[in-house]
A and B are shown apart, each in its own frame.
Chain A
Amino acid sequence: MERNIPLTVEFTGGLEMLFSNQRVHKISIPARDDRKEPSNVGFLIKHLCDNLMKDPRKEMFVIDDSIRPGVLVLINDADWELEGEDRYELQPNDNIVFVSTLHGG
């Protein structure tokens, strides 16, 4: 059996409200998803909703099982569009940032 993958997950732009008002979370997730595939960002998002989110307003983060349009995802400080979006396979110590652009000031 493979070990878990340690990750740093960060929520900003108002999303921290959904996650105990805490910006940075050090977590670890299973190295393989339910289908025994290597865990990717899509699996991480589901994991965060099921295990880390403390607020019922899930739709501020995820709509129809994918990231809400207007929420940016950065994988090791790069747009996730450049890294394969939700199919990016997570590596140990990756830094994943979720930034909402939807909140006003």
Chain B
Amino acid sequence: MAPCEICTTNRAQILRPKTRSRVCGPCFTAAFEAEVAETITTTHLFQPGERVAIGASGGKDSTVLASVLQTLNIRHGWKLDLVLLSIDEGIQGYRDHSLEAVKRNSADLGLPLKIVSYEELYGWSMDQVVAQIGKKGNCTYCGVFRRQALDRGAAMLGVGHVVTGHNADDVAETVLMNLLRGDLPRLSRATSIVTSTPSASVNKDGGPNGAVSFTNVKRSKPLMYAYEKEIVLYAHHKKLDYFSTECIYSPEAFRGSARTLIKNLERIRPESILDIVQSGMDMAKLVPDTDDACKGSAETAQTEESAGGCGNANGTSKEGEMAAMERKLRENEQAEQDGTEHEVRLPAKAANGQRHDRDTTNLDIPIRTKERRGNRKAGRHAATPAQKLGQCERCGYLSSQAVCKACVLLEGLNKARPRTDIEVGGSGG
């Protein structure tokens, strides 16, 4: 049995996919940590003393990310102020178990934990969404809501930088998906370690006393060069406590075909994964306006972000459905403006919103469907090019459309909510 190529004493336990070197467990975990540290330092990812929220799902990627960042922060004296940030989608029997894993990680690592729920942000838990619309298409809602939820949660904490556990396999999958769909502008965001940068144009929305606005949160993925295989092996050799399951609402969407292709390529030639990542980065440089695309609409990054969530290709495969839904809602809006539909507009789940207002100091966080603005403004927004970065006219989130996807989806949900339910909610406020 061949010994470790690094220490030359211990038994080799890991065949590293990118180099095919044979190393022992301790040498592997040390090398893995050193490589993540190198990624962070060469890209100048963090400022000394920066407050950083780790998007923590309780799954393998974010569990490893939290453990490695905490280890490196102590080892290298980076003085980062790390906090775990979890999103509670409100899925009984799924998220409640993974949140328990996050709580154990929080205790083990000694990092504070903040949990924000869809219920408090949007007035709807995923269980309620599914009760309303059924299981079909619910991943669209979950993905759109999740994207904003991390930014809103970070702003609640006053943290301007969120790191997520996206790995090299996720990035390679996204590169392939974008190639297959001919969507080259999106390659830039998929392959950038920093996926959205605070934009000067929206700084005016920063709260008083330098508070962080949810439109101004930096996103990055420090593990984007780390193989999924090595993340799982790191968790195994460090005996990290993570939770793995399928979302109960998308059990069949276990992995998409692009993922299967990636894993088949890895078996034949493990270097393929990082080669695809590198190819994506090189191609992104050739695409015009990639800089804008990179800084551009946070919302269109939803496709990429969904990979870290329910772990399937739904964010991409449901694009058509999303477009159809937006079209339908816009038709409704038009009908309303034409006076062909007479519906009394009520604030979305008023009781909920008000309870939330009392409980938090940052009033800008929850989305509440505001009064419809004048047609003039909507018209102006509709005339702008789709890729141009703007802000949602209802909630203020970065959006390439006049109304962001989350607000479009919420409008559909709130309209469909049984009237008695709204009355009960309204009378409580």
The interface of chain A, by Cβ under 8 A from chain B, is 12-14, 17, 60, 68-70, 72, 74, 77-79, 81-82, 97, 99-105
With contacts A13-B232, A78-B12, A79-B13 known, is A105 near B264, CB below 8 A? Answer: no
Residues of A within 8 A of B243 (CB): 105
Which listed residue (A12, A14, A79) contacts B246, Cβ 8 A? A14
Is B263 an interface residue, CB under 8 A from the partner? yes
With contacts A60-B254, A78-B12, A78-B13 known, is A101 near B259, CB below 8 A? Answer: no
Residues of B within 8 A of A12 (CB): 236, 244
With contacts A14-B244, A70-B255, A81-B15 known, is A101 near B311, CB below 8 A? Answer: no
Residue of chain A at shortest CB distance from B20: A81
In the complex the two chains form, what is the Cα distance from A39 to B312 in whole Å?
A: 37
Residues of B within 8 A of A69 (CB): 260, 263-264, 266-267
Residues of A within 8 A of B221 (CB): none
Q: Are A77 and B13 closer than 8 Å at their CB atoms?
A: yes
Is B308 an interface residue, CB under 8 A from the partner? yes
Q: Are B236 and A105 closer than 8 Å at their CB atoms?
A: no
In the complex the two chains form, what is the Cα distance from A81 to B14 in whole Å?
A: 9
Q: Are B245 and A17 closer than 8 Å at their CB atoms?
A: yes
With contacts A14-B244, A103-B244, A105-B60 known, is A82 near B233, CB below 8 A? Answer: no
Contact-size category for B: 35 or more
Which of B59, B254, B260 has the most A CB atoms < 10 Å from its CB?
A: B254
Which of B59, B63, B101 has the most A CB atoms < 10 Å from its CB?
A: B59
Q: Are A104 and B312 closer than 8 Å at their CB atoms?
A: yes
Closest Cβ of chain A to B205, distance in Å, is 31
Is B277 an interface residue, CB under 8 A from the partner? no
Q: Are A79 and B14 closer than 8 Å at their CB atoms?
A: yes
In the complex the two chains form, what is the Cα distance from A74 to B63 in whole Å?
A: 21
Residue of chain B at shortest CB distance from A102: B255
Which listed residue (A68, A70, A105) contacts B242, Cβ 8 A? A105
In the complex the two chains form, what is the Cα distance from A37 to B169 in whole Å?
A: 38
Q: Are A104 and B308 closer than 8 Å at their CB atoms?
A: yes
In the complex the two chains form, what is the Cα distance from A24 to B86 in whole Å?
A: 29
Closest Cβ of chain A to B98, distance in Å, is 6
In the complex the two chains form, what is the Cα distance from A82 to B266 in whole Å?
A: 16
Closest Cβ of chain B to A19, distance in Å, is 14
Closest Cβ of chain B to A58, distance in Å, is 13
**Interface hits, B106-129 → A, CB 8 Å:** none
Residue of chain A at shortest CB distance from B95: A105
Is B62 an interface residue, CB under 8 A from the partner? yes
With contacts A14-B244, A69-B264, A74-B236 known, is A105 near B14, CB below 8 A? Answer: no
Residues of A within 8 A of B98 (CB): 105
In the complex the two chains form, what is the Cα distance from A95 to B232 in whole Å?
A: 18
Q: Are B14 and A78 closer than 8 Å at their CB atoms?
A: yes
In the complex the two chains form, what is the Cα distance from A78 to B242 in whole Å?
A: 20
